[in-house]
Amino acid sequence: MQELNRKTASVNTYTERIIQFGEGNFLRAFANWMIHEMNKKANFDSGVVVVQPINQGLVKMLNDQDGLYTLYLNGIKNGKAISEHEIIDCIQRSINPYENYNDYLANAENPDLRFVISNTTEAGISYNENDRLDDTPPQSFPAKLTALLHKRFQTFGGASDKGLIVIPCELIDRNGDNLKRIILQYASDWNLGDDFKTWINDDNIFCNTLVDRIVPGYPKDKMEAITKELGYKDNLVVEGEQFHLWVIEGPKSVKDEFPSEACGLNVVFTDNMEPYRTRKVRILNGAHTALVPVGYLYGIDRVRESLEDPIVGSFLKDALFKNICPTLDLPDDELSQFSNDVLDRFRNPYLEHELMSISLNSVSKYKTRVLPSVLEFIKRKNTLPSHLLFSLAALMAFYKGDRNGNKINLKDDATVLEFFENQWKTNDVSSVAKATLSNTDFWGTDLTTFDGLENEVAKYLESIINNGMKTAINTLSN
């Protein structure tokens, strides 16, 4: 069987305009797919040069396949379950700077270079005080990028039109701001001069971003069937869900150069990404967290099954649309669309997401993902968000550690587990509710001080413990 490469596949070649730090599954299923779409549909003509950010990686495998790989997108699209695949051809070549550092630096001399994209893990945007300009290469990603930018500054005499647009995808808050800050720190450490710092500040754009797509990665267990379907051997097949979202905070000029809108891609350009980050945390992550104890105690094991169940599915929709969305400051149509997209993602028949895998550290997750919606709802509506408080009661019942006589494998901080173990020894529902709600170490505030909240949660908890989740949730639904 033939192997995938540019001799065996009919693909395009593009001008090298993007340097990309990271060759893992996420970037290939997310950013590279979008670049591929823009090349096909908007004449973006942007080829990618991949740089391996650490000593070990996939660069050799990428080069063996001439940068080509097959992407499968599986999930709900336009209301239907769809699995589709295609060869992504935007990667032109790949470099391991630990073996070919001069080849890496030579990219700085490319007059067509315009964008930097990265995903070097959450730990990748970090400062290493031991990095030096004459290292070949420096160890940290920001130091490698500083060396490249300095070389470009020297090559083109600090020309303003040779600055780059930097779009990091690492999952840290204000990723672009943090990357720029570290680069300026290296500029000082290495005595690169005020003119270079000015060029960094004035002529390079560092965007903050929010990225969202579930990427299961290489489908090892399916490869025999996939290879038979494709008719060629591909060692870099990657799977992703249909949904995608890229929020890019930066000046309007970035949108003008990045033709995602013309391709119908879900890329949002904004001058303030915080509402979108809040939306994701409260709707996507918050819905997951609110669902887990309710669905699991109901007798369901997976997210998809929860949505398919009419009672639990209705609970989750009500929690989203009645309790969470009213707390967010974005247009109603945007919130509705995002919420419906989230529900479609939860229904994805190609992903089996176990509720117990989401249950890790549920107390702290409730605090960061759900509690802000609870408090904001109370503030705005002057009433209680019943579905989110029912979830909180279900969380307390979940930490009792029993589902229909079977032990629940609870995973949380030892102090959390010890707290609930001691509380449930009393078997006094009201006492458990009061002690949990007043635990400021959990919530950062005493929740019993909010009018009616303790009585509401205790009522739900008593119903769950005495009558079971199926009866309790039906009472709430009615």
The answer to whether the CB of 30 falls within 8 A of the CB of 213 is yes
**pTM exceeds cut of 0.85:** yes
Helical H segments across 280-331, by residue range = 286-298, 303-308, 310-318
**Predicted pLDDT at 271:** 96
Among 250, 253, 241, smallest CA distance to 284 is for: 241
Strand 47-51 to 69-77 pairing: unpaired
Distance CA 187, CA 143 (A): 9
Q: Can you give the pLDDT at residue 478? A: 52
Query: Is the separation of the CB atoms in 171 and 122 below 8 Å?
Result: yes
Burial group, residue 24, by CB count within 10 angstroms (0-12, 13-18, 19+) = middle
Query: What's the sign of the alpha-carbon dihedral 76, 79, 84, 87?
Result: negative
Amino acid 79: pLDDT? 87
Q: What is the DSSP code string of 251-291?
A: -HHHHHH---GGGT--EEEES--HHHHHHIIIIIIHHHHHH
Pairwise CA distance, residues 284 & 342, whole Å: 6
CA distance 139 to 131: 6
| Run means of pLDDT, 10 residues per run, the chain, 478 residues | 96 98 97 98 98 95 98 93 97 98 98 97 91 98 98 98 97 95 98 98 98 94 96 97 97 97 96 95 95 98 96 97 96 95 94 90 95 98 98 98 95 94 95 98 97 98 97 82
